[in-house]
Structure 1
């Protein structure tokens, strides 16, 4: 024995430590603790899980969630090395799961082993989103209308599709409280009722981007929450008088509408085959139809700037102007609209 050797002040044995030996250290500390009871709140409608006071959308698998919760209930001392965990679970009842966690590791140079028991208590509670959905909560209403007409079936369906696509997108980004409360098909258009101002604004912008139009906002104060004023907003979205794809006559020329922007109508000249711009406030527009409703007809022959078209209704050969931009050839198909007022066939593509 030399003067440099250390002795444990508790048991008197030799130690390499300055203080208690490893054996006494292990006996003096509680190296493993375990929460005996774990509550877990799950929404019975959508399966969201409540963590503290926040609802989280995660794929819900009871076995995997049980293991995750049980492992989270175990707390080991910071000096435990090479920690290994294993678990067994037993379903006591539909709302109780008994978990046994097996823990082993190395503490102060010696292996240690211990088991602990924890009980997971499953409770059901409607989440914030489902509570709002079931209560019909809403913050904005987008009234999709049209200028001087009623939105057609295509426009109604497209506006609804845009709304659902945006709802799916924001939900994936974690905006749980942004959703579509309901959609009402009305005599004059469609009403898209949503739960937040942000999703309402996003849907409105996307509809205008795709189909044109203008929107006005009409807020209404409904109360206060946490000292802040709460508003419900009605967004009146008016689609343009002419839809994308409409064929119109103006100054004895036919145009296909490509879009509208700030009082202007972007068109394609069906005679000259080039783009042009008309003004919305001009008078004398006459709607012929929409290219989505066009019939398909056979080209029977071409002769310079004249083409013979087989009328798909009367089966007569009708001669029409074969505009250069069409590049027609015999035996191919062409799309046509009928101007019943002028008794003409219009080639639209």
Structure 2
């Protein structure tokens, strides 16, 4: 035995010499089976530690998986994906294995059972090893807390989309709903399972959007007013107390969109002619259709100056340019009477144009900028 190259130690099981191995680095634990020869070591070696069976509960509505004491969104496309994820989480590979490769082949046994055939390969003590395990995955269906709350009509905030002195138009209502949906989708993507829309209802005055939390309701109301203008007020209502005695409130966010909208033609009655509204963010801004000059409401008036609506850019009609009279006047065909009519020439009018969009109001006929009704 003295001529055998090895560690000088002998296997406590079979008495064969144990090959020389690298010593662990300082601070690293010394492997208990290090004293065994390769033959005895591999007699007991298991490359993979796998459970005999996995049971997983999946929400039948959203596909979330119940793990521990919480529900987790896993983004799985179907139950096979769920089974693969769960098996991947449950399997353990021996710490001494190197160059590990593995694959999984699912077998659909029935609607609720998927048998996962898992193949592993690696290198241990310089020896290539391979192992296959089969793990049945039982799929159970349930309802997660979030979907249960949605189904039960649970909500904490209501955003009421209304107009100041008018009813919001369908485009505004549609955009308000899209804003709420986008914000909820962003929260969900960040892992917030408490963010959801409970219900969207049509009211004679506008839309009501019921949301899961007061914080979400405030965020939606803020984003809508940031994008569409207007403002909102908050009205909390005490509904109950939680288990710790804390008061629980529902909050109504009463949102008022501006009286005027981009595309409205308004008359401030200041003697300078109508204004085509361009923006209602902060102070109302627009352009004079008589001169083309920029208009901005006084700070005190904000988004609602003392004016009345006399038309909408969507009602503009294209008509023929008859002649350019001078720097301040142009002749066009009246779209109703087809008579040549002299109208103000704004700065945005292009003398090279053969046709221009015009709008006829009770105060006169006006040339609008190209694309005003888009």
Fold shared per TM-score above 0.5: yes
- Residue 254 of structure 1 aligns with which residue? 274
Q: CA deviation at 1:268?
A: 2.2
Q: Are the equivalent residues in 1 in contact too, given 2:238–2:248 (CA < 8 A)? A: yes
Task: Name the CA distance, whole Å, in 2 between partners of 1:31 and 1:274.
Answer: 80
CA deviation after TM superposition for structure 1 residue 238, in Å: 1.1
Q: Residue 22 of structure 1 aligns with which residue?
A: 38
SS in 2 for 1:324: coil
Aligned to 1:174: 191
> Which position in structure 2 is the counterpart of 1:229?
247
Cα separation, partners in 2 of 1:154 and 1:70, compared to 1, 3 Å: closer
Q: Which 5+ residue runs of structure 1 have no aligned equivalent?
A: none
Q: Distance in 1 between matches of 2:105 and 2:348?
A: 75
Partner of 1:170, secondary structure, is helix
Matches within 5 A, 1:317-336: 317-329=340-352, 331-334=354-357, 336=358
1:200 aligned residue (217, 229, 254): 217
Aligned to 1:272: 291
Aligned pair in 2 of structure 1 residues 35, 241: CA closer, same or farther (>3 Å)? same
TM-score, with length taken from structure 2: 0.81
1-structure distance, mates of 2:99, 2:161: 63
More strand by share: 1
Deviation at 1:261, TM superposition (A): 5.5
Which deviations, in whole Å up to 9, do the C-alpha atoms of 1:223-255 show, x marking residues without a partner? 344634332110011112222222222222222
Quick check: 1:123 aligned with 2:140? yes
Higher mean alpha-carbon deviation, 276-285 vs 183-192, is at: 276-285
Which has the higher mean CA deviation after the structures are superposed, 321-330 or 303-312? 321-330
| Pair 306,182 (structure 1): closer, same or farther in 2 beyond 3 Å | same
In structure 2, list runs of 5 or more residues that go unmatched: 21-33, 370-374
Greater mean alpha carbon deviation, residues 66-75 or residues 319-328 = 66-75
CA contact (8 A) 1:338 1:346 kept: yes
Task: Quickly say closer, same or farther: Cα 1:27–1:245, change in 2 above 3 A.
Answer: same
Give the conservation status (yes or no) of the 8 Å contact 2:64–2:71. no
Rate the CA distance shift 1:210–1:117 in 2: closer, same or farther, 3 A. Answer: closer
Tell me by how many angstroms 1:39 deviates: 1.2
Contact 1:80 / 1:105 at 8 angstroms: preserved in 2?
yes
Name the SS of the counterpart of 1:168 in structure 2.
Answer: helix
State the Cα deviation string for residues 82-130 of structure 1 (Å, max 9, x = none): 4343444432221112233344444334444443332100011122332
Give the whole-Å Cα distance in 1 for the aligned partners of 2:286 and 2:93: 73
- In the alignment, the residues of structure 2 paired with residue 201 and residue 20 of structure 1 have an alpha-carbon distance, to the nearest angstrom, of 67
Q: CA deviation at 1:185?
A: 1.8
Partner Cα separation in structure 1 for residue 126 and residue 2 of structure 2 = 24
Partner of residue 311 from structure 1, selected from 334, 339, 363: 334
Partner of 2:93: 76
* Cα RMSD for the two superposed structures: 2.8
Show CA shifts across 1:191-211 (max 9, x none).
122222333223222221222
Equivalent position of 1:43 in the other structure:
59
Quickly say closer, same or farther: Cα 1:310–1:148, change in 2 above 3 A.
same
